[in-house]
Structure 1
Amino acid sequence: METTDLHKLSEDVRRPTDAMRAAAAERWSGELALPPRSFGSLEKVAGWLCAVQGQCPPRPIQRARLVLFAGDHGIASVETNGHRVTAQPPGSTAALLRMYARGEGPAAVLARAHEASVRLLDVSVDCDLEELAELPAEVTAGRIRRGTGRIDRESACTRDEAVAAFALGRELADAEIDAGADLLLPALVGAGHTTPAAVLVAALTGADAASVTGRGSGIDDAGWTVKCAAVRDALRLARPVLADQYELLAVSGGPDFAAATGFILQAALRRTPVLLDGVGATACALLAQRIAFRTPEWCLAAQLSPEPAQQKALDRLSLEPLLDFKVRAGAGCGALLALPLVRSAVSLLAETPSYADAGLPEPTVRSAL
Structure 2
Amino acid sequence: MGLGFFDVSDDITSPFANARVPFPDASFATRAKNRLAQATVPGTGLGGLGSAVAWAARVQGTDRPTPFLRIDGIVVSGAHFGGFVESTPVDVDVLRALADTAGIPLTFIETEPTGAAESAPLLTVDEYEEALERGRAAADAAIDGGADAIVLIGLGPGVTAAAIGVAAHLTRTPPIELSPRVHVPGGLIDDETWMRQTAALRDAFARAGGPGRNAAAALSEFGGPVLAIAAAVIVAAAIRRTPVLIDGPAAAAAALAARDFSLGAPKWCYAPDRVPHPVVEKMASQTGMADPIGPGLDIGDGCAVLNAVPLLQDALTLAARLPYPADVDDRDRPDGIVEEEPEDPADDDPAVTGDGLSH
TM-score by length of 1: 0.78
Matched, 1:292 2:262: yes
**Counterpart position of 1:66:** 73
Q: Distance in 1 between matches of 2:44 and 2:212?
A: 42
Q: Distance in 1 between matches of 2:282 and 2:294?
A: 16
**Counterpart position of 2:147:** 181
Matched, 1:18 2:6: no
Structure 1 residue 120, shift from structure 2 partner: 0.9
Q: Counterparts of 1:169-208 in structure 2 under 5 Å? A: 169-208=135-174
Q: Deviations over 1:335-367 (max 9, x none)?
A: 01111221122112211122679xxxxxxxxxx
Q: Distance in 1 between matches of 2:304 and 2:144?
A: 25
Q: Distance in 2 between matches of 1:328 and 1:242?
A: 34
How many residues in Structure 1 have an aligned counterpart in Structure 2? 312
Q: Distance in 1 between matches of 2:46 and 2:234?
A: 28
| 8 Å contact from structure 1 (residues 85, 224) kept in 2 | no
Query: Secondary structure at 1:121's aligned position in 2?
Result: strand
Query: Secondary structure at 1:116's aligned position in 2?
Result: coil
Deviates further, 109-118 or 262-271: 109-118
Which amino acid is the alignment partner of residue 35 of structure 2? Answer: R
**Counterpart position of 1:86:** 86
Q: Distance in 2 between matches of 1:339 and 1:155?
A: 36
Structure 1 residue 111, shift from structure 2 partner: 1.0
| 8 Å contact from structure 1 (residues 209, 231) kept in 2 | yes
Query: Rg bigger for which structure?
Result: 1
Q: Distance in 2 between matches of 1:156 and 1:217?
A: 26
Q: In structure 2, do the counterparts of structure 1 residues 60 and 323 end up closer, same or farther at CA, with 3 Å as the change threshold? A: closer
Q: Counterparts of 1:167-246 in structure 2 under 5 Å? A: 167-216=133-182, 218=184, 220-237=190-207, 240-246=210-216
Query: Secondary structure at 2:105's aligned position in 1?
Result: strand
RMSD: 2.4
Q: Deviations over 1:249-295 (max 9, x none)?
A: 11111111111100011111110111112100000001101221112
Which amino acid is the alignment partner of residue 315 of structure 1? Answer: S
**Counterpart position of 1:277:** 247
Query: Secondary structure at 2:67's aligned position in 1?
Result: coil
Query: Secondary structure at 1:68's aligned position in 2?
Result: strand
**Counterpart position of 1:106:** 94
**Counterpart position of 2:125:** 159
Structure 1 residue 18, shift from structure 2 partner: 3.2
| Structure with the larger helix share | 1
Query: Secondary structure at 1:175's aligned position in 2?
Result: helix
Where do 5+ consecutive residues of structure 2 fail to align?
Answer: 1-10, 328-359
**Counterpart position of 1:350:** 320
Matched, 1:258 2:268: no
Structure 1 residue 224, shift from structure 2 partner: 1.1
Q: Deviations over 1:107-158 (max 9, x none)?
A: 111111121111111122xxxxxxxxxxxxxxxxxxxxxx111011211121
**Counterpart position of 1:50:** 57
Where do 5+ consecutive residues of structure 1 fail to align?
Answer: 79-83, 125-146, 358-369
| 8 Å contact from structure 1 (residues 37, 43) kept in 2 | no
| 8 Å contact from structure 1 (residues 214, 309) kept in 2 | no
| 8 Å contact from structure 2 (residues 139, 233) kept in 1 | yes
Query: Secondary structure at 1:240's aligned position in 2?
Result: coil
Q: Deviations over 1:4-45 (max 9, x none)?
A: 775623xx1111133432331232122x22368522332121
Q: In structure 2, do the counterparts of structure 1 residues 335 and 222 end up closer, same or farther at CA, with 3 Å as the change threshold? A: same
Q: Distance in 1 between matches of 2:76 and 2:207?
A: 24
Q: Deviations over 1:90-122 (max 9, x none)?
A: xx66xx6xxx5xxxx111111111211111111
**Counterpart position of 1:137:** none
| 8 Å contact from structure 1 (residues 24, 50) kept in 2 | yes
| 8 Å contact from structure 1 (residues 194, 216) kept in 2 | no
Q: Distance in 1 between matches of 2:166 and 2:208?
A: 8
The share of aligned pairs that are identical, in percent, is: 31
Query: Secondary structure at 1:20's aligned position in 2?
Result: helix
Q: Distance in 2 between matches of 1:4 and 1:170?
A: 11
Q: Distance in 1 between matches of 2:51 and 2:305?
A: 17
